[in-house]
Amino acid sequence: MTVWFVGAGPGAPDLLTVRAQRLLAEVPVVLYAGSLVPPEVLAGTRPDARLVNTADMDLDAITAELVSAHASGNDVARLHSGDPSVFSAVAEQARRLDAAGVPWQVVPGVPAFAAAAAALRQELTLPGVGQTVVLTRTAARATPMPDGEDLASLGATGCTLVLHLAVQHADRVAAELLPYYGADCPAAVVARASWPDEVVLRCPLGELAERVAAAGIRRTAIIVVGEVLAHGGFADSHLYSAARDRIAAPQPPGPAPRQRRPGGEDRLTKPAERSEAPAREAMK
Ligand SMILES: C[S@@+](CC[C@H](N)C(=O)[O-])C[C@H]1O[C@@H](n2cnc3c(N)ncnc32)[C@H](O)[C@@H]1O
């Protein structure tokens, strides 16, 4: 049987992926990090599913649950907030499962930084302004940052910074970044993105600490720092540029294919639209 590490998304139950929903409806055992995965996300689980909140369990206890489910012939969904690829502690569980010979797979989820960007209605990469996003966190006593990943080193890059697990240290974040970004650099905080009590604030970096304190934000927040947060003033992307060569290869007649554009989203086009569609896109 398999342990599925499942990204539960940022909180809103309808931001679970379809794959995650299907899996949750099938598996007999579900482990979830109760501090960040709301009960609504578990609404689609089997009525007879064993639901285990791991908020107060240590790694040994969690591993024992996973291994025992496997020994009983049960698939397990192990839910983590956001996406399992960042700050999820999946790697250490997976290492234990490998040692125990338990197979595991990963189902991706919507990460908190993407939900925060959506709440801000903000693209984090803008042509000519910022094309690099650094997903990072602040050091904690138990989790120091590796050499070269301190805020000063990251700040020296001038890239757009997206900080997790940092809002309780907003004063330190601002103080360490000010020499690199300046007091006027735009910053934003999104607390509990996608939850009913979501809070969004935008301010200059120089006011970050006082604004976070005034809003009473202490946890479950993303901080974004970078010039991309200042709207306007950026060039159009090459993707939809009228100057871009769009001579398409002749298409065979038939059902509308799904077209994938480099860096763009899928869209369905009817055969008759195929030759004019790019020109119309460019005029938008
Ligand atoms: C242990 S990390 C989990 C990150 C997660 N794996 C992800 O993909 O977003 C927890 C941190 O993620 C951020 N976070 C998680 N959910 C959030 C949400 N709904 N809104 C804002 N920040 C969130 C906060 O910085 C929080 O301290």
pLDDT per position as a tens digit, 167-181:
999 999 999 999 999
**Could you identify the atom of ligand 1 that is nearest to the CA of residue 112?**
9
pLDDT per position as a tens digit, 75-133:
999 999 999 999 999 999 999 999 999 999 999 999 999 999 999 999 999 999 999 99
Give me the CATH topology for the region 3-110: Cobalt-precorrin-4 Transmethylase; domain 1 (3.40.1010)
**Could you identify the atom of ligand 1 that is nearest to the CA of residue 137?**
25
pLDDT per position as a tens digit, 225-267:
999 999 665 667 777 777 777 766 667 666 655 544 444 443 3
Domain ranges for the chain? 3-110, 113-229, 239-284
Residues near ligand 1 (Cβ within 6 A) = 10-11, 36, 80-83, 86-88, 111-112, 115-116, 164-165, 190-195, 220-222
**Could you identify the atom of ligand 1 that is nearest to the CA of residue 86?**
6
pLDDT at 232: 67
Is there a contact between 199 and 223 (Cβ–Cβ < 8 Å)?
Answer: no
Do domains 3-110 and 113-229 share one topology? The answer is no
Pocket test for ligand 1, best of 41, 136, 137, 165 (most atoms within 8 A of CB): 165
User: Which residues fall within 8 angstroms of residue 59, CB to CB, at 6 or more apart?
Assistant: 92, 93, 96
The CATH code that applies to domain 113-229 is: 3.30.950.10
**Could you identify the atom of ligand 1 that is nearest to the CA of residue 190?**
21
Identify the residue whose C-alpha is closest to ligand 1 atom 7: 82
pTM: 0.85
